[in-house]
Amino acid sequence: MASPAPPLATLGILSIGDMGVGIARLLIAHNYRVITNASDRSQATQDRARKNSVDLVPTDIELCNTADYILSIVPPRDALAIAQRIATAFSNPDFDKTRRHPLYYLDLNAISPRLAREINDLFANSSPDVRLIDGGVIGPPPKLKEDATWYKPSVPVSGPHKLSDAQSSGKHLVEVLNMQHINDTIGSATGLKMCFAALSKGFTALAIQSLTTAHNLGCLPELQEHLKVFNPGAAKSVETVTRMSPKAYRWVREMEEIAETFEADGGFEREESIFRPVAKVYDFVAYGTELGQEKTEDRKRGKTSEDVAVLMSEGTARRKEKTE
């Protein structure tokens, strides 16, 4: 019996959430090996990794010793901590300094360019041999389509190092992951992700407030009719409110990262920084309304934009009662 071809390279993914699983599956389907360290994560997380053919390693040091590339794909609030973990493992005496290829660290998180620069400084000061690649993921997780081809999100990357120069199948990996190197500066790719996300998630927050208020005023059906005739693009886009609630808790920090981006890199003053309150809107969705408690696909309420307006309105009314 012919033995299977050896993997093209090994990638460590931290961590195996929805996006992590999608990217792991895409890589494994293209003959890469994917590993993760989930030793102190829940049984469900470990099972999910195994079920998707992701190999588990017990420590970060083994992860760094085995992987050619490490991909950080976590909620934005964990991005710095993950980089610190890897920098610590890399500086450990048990880290294999004789490895053949340099270790590439791809930060693919929804973070501000300022935080990306901080992560760059962290590696530059503690483990200068790690090659940091700044990146973002635009679009939903990769998925095998019915015609057996892959839908892939776009993965813009930036920084002084190019993945296409990496010896362990770097060129091929760039193609498989649909990556595009957009600039030699750390922060360009994360910045692109922030500017893109601002327009979609910012509009959704406007839609939440507009629909809720129209519901309270008894003019929601009329608002929707007028949108259809006079602003059909918006009529379509307001429907995004029906898909945001399972992700709202995660978007709170992402909106704060966008605010940070617009302030630090856009030059806008704190009082012009509209994404601070946008973060608060998603915080309220997640923790102040019934929408936030329904994180699964089988939720019963919040399926239409009218439902969302009703649930938001109930939430604001409850909050008002409490403060009166």
Please tell me whether residue 51 adopts helix, strand or coil conformation: helix
Query: What is the DSSP-derived secondary structure letter of residue 60?
Result: H
Nearer to ligand NAG, 23 or 244 (CB): 23
Q: How far is the CB of 108 from ligand NAG (least distance, A)?
A: 17
Q: What stretches of the chain adopt beta strand conformation (E)?
A: 10-14, 33-36, 55-56, 69-72, 104-107, 131-135, 143-144, 150-151, 155-158, 179-183
Stretch that binds ligand NAG, among 37-45, 169-177, 208-216, 232-240 (CB under 6 A): 37-45
| Residue whose structure tokens are 């808790």 | 249
- Please check whether residue 303 is in contact with residue 245, taking contact to mean a CB–CB distance below 8 angstroms: no
Is 297 an interacting residue with respect to ligand NAG (CB under 6 A)? Answer: no
How many residues sit close enough to ligand NAG to count as binding (CB under 6 A)?
11
Identify which of residues 46 and 216 has a Cβ nearer to ligand NAG in the complex: 46
Give min distance, CB of 245 to ligand NAG, in A: 27
- 41 interacts with ligand NAG by CB under 6 A: yes
Measured from each CB, the residue nearest to ligand NAG is 59
Question: Which of 19, 20, 21, 60 touches ligand NAG by CB under 6 A?
Answer: 60
- Please say which residue, 37 or 245, places its beta carbon nearer to ligand NAG: 37
Hunting for tokens 């409490």 — which residue is that? 322
290 contacts 314 by C-beta, under 8 angstroms: yes
Helix (H, G, I), strand (E, B), or coil: what is residue 54? Answer: coil
Which residues, in sequence order, are bridge partners of residue 262? none
DSSP assignment of 293-318 equals G--STT-SS--SHHHHHHHHHHHHHH
Q: Is 66 in the site for ligand NAG (CB under 6 A)?
A: no
Is 168 among the residues that bind ligand NAG (CB under 6 A)? no
Which lies closer to ligand NAG via its Cβ, residue 37 or residue 289?
Answer: 37
**Apex 21 CA angle, 20 and 25, nearest 5:** 120
Query: Is residue 273 at the binding interface for ligand NAG, with CB under 6 A as the rule?
Result: no
Q: Which residues contact 221 (CB under 8 A, 6 or more apart)?
A: none
Which position among 3, 6, 40, 298 is part of the footprint of ligand NAG (CB under 6 A)? 40
* Stretch near ligand NAG under the rule CB under 6 A, chosen from 54-62, 96-104, 170-178, 249-257: 54-62
Residue 112 binding ligand NAG, by CB under 6 A: no
Taking the complex as a whole, the smallest distance from the CB of residue 291 to ligand NAG amounts, in Å, to 29
Residues of this chain that bind ligand NAG (CB under 6 A): 37-41, 59-61, 183, 185, 188
